[in-house]
A and B are shown apart, each in its own frame.
Chain A
Amino acid sequence: VCATCYTDEEIEPVELGTFGKTYSVAVQRMMPVGRESSPYVVCYVDLEGSGVRLFGKLDCEPEEAQIGMSVEVVVDIQDAAPDGFVYYHFRKQQREAGETVK
């Protein structure tokens, strides 16, 4: 249901860009027992064009992570959950210089 107009009918999917820049980054080193134990990077990304700020893991070395990095979304199809939740992560942007976002 839309939180602005409260319709449950006229909702349509919107395509967000897959490229963006990190708004903030952090290296999680200490994790709950039973979870992934090696440090990994998490970030919020401002997606180009849509103005959406999106959370995800960032596939890069902890020392590489910085605010303002160019990144892109990678959907992890192999991890699709039974409840339909779509897993994804970010990686360093690999598009060619000058290429525009579709």
Chain B
Amino acid sequence: MRQVAVLGVAMTPFGRYPNRSLRDLGREASWAAIKDAGISPKQIEAGYLGNALGARLQGEMGIGQSVMAEIGLYGIPIINVENACASGSTAFREAWMSIAGGFHDAVIVVGVEKTYTDEGGVLDGPDSEPEMRLGLVLPGFFALMANRYMTEHNVTAEEIAQVSVKNHAHGSLNPYAQYRKPLTLEEVMSSPMVADPLTVLSCCPRADGAAAAILVSEAVARQHTTTPVFVAASVLGSGLGQNPSDIIHLEMNVKAARRAYEQAGLGPEDINVVELHDCFTIAELEHYETLGFCGRGEGVRLLADGVTKLGGKLPVNASGGLLARGHPLGATGIAQIVEMVWQLRGQAGQRQVPGARVALTHCMGGIKELDAQATTIHILRR
């Protein structure tokens, strides 16, 4: 397998763009990533685009082709990827494989999504899963996770809500974040209840936006920079279909993390900065544990001790995460990569983690039989 480098990254600020199309948002991020990489579009041999809901919400298909035509990319293979909330990170992995496997030397990967709709409210899950047909909505799944966690580990709703306080504090330092205002615990707790104990401000918001990255072979990277950011691990897994499975310790996350550390030849103790899938506050605590940053039931302590906030030993979601940066589904996985590349290059401004050299991103999509439909983990290093 060849080494793969992330040569260029870019994203639009996440937010609400009622007057902009997927094509337009995708164009902005893609073109800026090409500029950031300093290569010509002529060198790009394939394009991958992650989007989850364009067919349902905007009635679109072939979004990859429409976005890439905007930056002059015709004729090359273009692949549209849907893997629920992990669509972008799955597209990134496809792009990585194409270079690692020696098929291409330079490719573009884009994530784009618009989830704001006129009616708003909670986003509906797919009817393809029995749980959804029987009345489950996504916040409900994570509320089931939270309640079980609270009972097993003797934790309070306030302790879980602190995840949102931390990530909004981080988001306030990120000009690309949808929410740039710090929140108090009181504000999080007193916002309307979505599914007990998760309030509106414990859930990620609807968001529109795009993010893009240029992946190249090591040889191409060396022509452009002396300090490339390399992909040390790229892992994708799907739900294990076990029954009964443990809702507060999703086995797929554990397995994916183990494979990623093995691939990178690193352990959780080697990671300096993390972007993980905090779609709901409780998810962040579950991920601390399943990614191996602490033991089972110790997530709350890791958070309360300040380990995972900026200034701590292992800052998590310095960007604001899904809770504050926002979660345009297909764009999220790439936005996590963008943030990590900025962190590794020392370009993360006020939210910079000093001296970060090894970064991990974790993205999770969909619910299937008490597990996720897809989990991706990427480890980047420079």
Chain B, Cβ-Cβ closest to A47 = B244
Q: Pick from A6-14, A20-28, A91-99 the stretch touching chain B.
A: A20-28
Q: Which residues of A contact B119 (CB under 8 A)?
A: 33-34
User: Is A82 in contact with chain B by the CB < 8 A criterion?
Assistant: no
User: Is A60 in contact with chain B by the CB < 8 A criterion?
Assistant: no
User: Is B148 in contact with chain A by the CB < 8 A criterion?
Assistant: yes
Q: How far is the CA of A63 from the CA of B146 in the complex (A)?
A: 17
Chain A, Cβ-Cβ closest to B140 = A28
Q: How many residues of B contact A (CB 8 A)?
A: 34
- A55 CB to nearest chain B CB (Å): 5
Q: Is the CB of A53 within 8 A of B121?
A: no
User: Is A52 in contact with chain B by the CB < 8 A criterion?
Assistant: yes
Q: Is the CB of A53 within 8 A of B140?
A: no
Q: How would you classify the secondary structure of chain A's contact residues: helix, strand, loop or mixed?
A: strand
User: Is A32 in contact with chain B by the CB < 8 A criterion?
Assistant: yes
- A91 CB to nearest chain B CB (Å): 14
Q: Is the CB of A46 within 8 A of B244?
A: yes
Q: How many residues of A contact B (CB 8 A)?
A: 32
Can you list 21 A-B pairs with a CB-CB distance of less than 8 A?
A: A24-B151, A24-B247, A26-B144, A26-B195, A28-B135, A28-B140, A28-B194, A30-B121, A30-B139, A30-B200, A35-B124, A35-B137, A42-B135, A42-B144, A51-B244, A52-B243, A56-B135, A67-B147, A67-B151, A85-B130, A88-B134
Chain B, range 115-147, C-beta contacts under 8 Å to A: 119-124, 130-131, 133-137, 139-140, 143-147
Contacting residue for B244 out of A52, A62, A87, A88, CB 8 A: A52
By a beta-carbon cutoff of 8 Å, the part of chain B in contact with chain A is 119-124, 130-131, 133-137, 139-140, 143-148, 151, 192-196, 200, 241, 243-245, 247, 370
- B245 CB to nearest chain A CB (Å): 7
Known contacts A23-B148, A27-B143: does B120 contact A57 (CB below 8 Å)?
A: no
Contacting residue for B195 out of A27, A33, A43, CB 8 A: A27
Interface centre among B123, B146, B370 (most CB of A within 10 A): B370
Q: Which residues of B contact A88 (CB under 8 A)?
A: 134
Known contacts A52-B244, A56-B134: does B370 contact A27 (CB below 8 Å)?
A: no
Q: Which 6 A-B pairs have the closest CB atoms?
A: A53-B244, A26-B143, A24-B148, A32-B124, A33-B119, A24-B144
Contacting residue for A55 out of B136, B145, B148, B241, CB 8 A: B136
